[in-house]
Amino acid sequence: MAAIADKRSGAYTFLAYVTLVIISIFCLLPFVWMALASVDTNAKLFLKWPDGITFEHYTKVFAEENGVRWFANSLFTVLSATVLVMIISGLGGYALSRSRAWWKQPFLYAILLIRVLPSTALLVPLYKVLLTANIGLGNMLRPITGEYYRTVMQWFGFIDGYLGLIVVLATGQLPLALWIMKIFFDGVPKDYEEAAILDGATLVQRIHRVLIPLALPGLAAAGLFTFMSAWGDFLLPLILLSSPELQTLPIGLFRAFLRVNEIDYGLLAALATIYLIPAVIAFSFARRFLVQTFSGGVKG
């Protein structure tokens, strides 16, 4: 009986590995096509070995297209939103973890509604609110900035401005980050803080020397999820940004795909590869912290 059970277990294990290999190959095929097409002199829609190797598509992204500006806009807005989320979620997660207020649990579940509701359902009221705020801000800044009004509004405007996109991206990712940091601080013993207090450390010293080093794994996890989600967001930049000089990399991909003439699949693949690199780098740096965060945080 034991031999039969071992054979069945071996068969199930073999079947599981075969299934995983098939699924992995299926998932990897688009990335293989993207990598090959980006250096193919005659890139086509279907997967094939390159007719010749060239890096002209990558050169074209930065030389002929607006690739540098698209990439810089994406990196600036997403990194700004990520830093903002990490700061707020770190402070808020600590406060929620240590607080015994009766409203803590209702508040935590209430903010999840931002994640539950589909973003498309919120676009119209969100745009209306941002437009009203943008008009008010514009009326206030126009007499002050004069001829620099347009430049200032591109930086601080809520519609067709960096600030509006950064705030909206950060707001969308903040609920999950707050939950991550709250749960992480729940696993951090209070002994560290009590020892620092006994040593005479001030609040600023406790934050700088105790809480921030302990919170790094949680902050890295929250920052990674924020960066990945915001980096892949297409709808919000499409709705909130209209100036060509403010457009981000996802919109550049969209424009490249919707050319009137025949689609340049080599250019499209090169853009997609460039778009993929920051996410891979971010995951590589934060992978170690992710494992530590979701395996229990800091143990006393």
pLDDT of residue 135: 92
CA distances 257 to 50, 164, 243, Å, are 21, 26, 19
32 assigned to some structural domain: no
27 assigned to some structural domain: no
**For the chain, how many residues are written?**
300
Rounded mean pLDDT of 139-165? 90
- Structure tokens, 247: 């457009």
Report the number of distinct structural domains present in the chain. Answer: 1
Q: Would you say residue 254 has pLDDT above 90? A: no
pLDDT tier at 167 (50, 70, 90 boundaries)?
very high
201 assigned to some structural domain: yes
Say which residue, 286 or 84, is predicted with more confidence.
84
Rounded mean pLDDT of 92-103? 85
**CATH code for the domain in which residue 174 is found:** 1.10.3720.10
Q: Would you say residue 76 has pLDDT above 90? A: yes
182 assigned to some structural domain: yes
The model's pLDDT over 98-149, given as tens digits with 9 standing for 90+, comes to 888 888 888 888 888 777 777 788 888 899 999 999 999 989 988 888 888 8
Q: Would you say residue 223 has pLDDT above 80? A: yes
Q: How far apart are CA 81 and CA 174, in angstroms?
A: 10
pTM of the model: 0.84
Is 141 within 8 Å of 155 (Cβ atoms)?
Answer: no
CB atoms inside a 10 Å sphere around CB 290: 15
pLDDT of residue 300: 45
Domain boundaries, position 259? 59-294
Q: Would you say residue 215 has pLDDT above 90? A: no
2 assigned to some structural domain: no
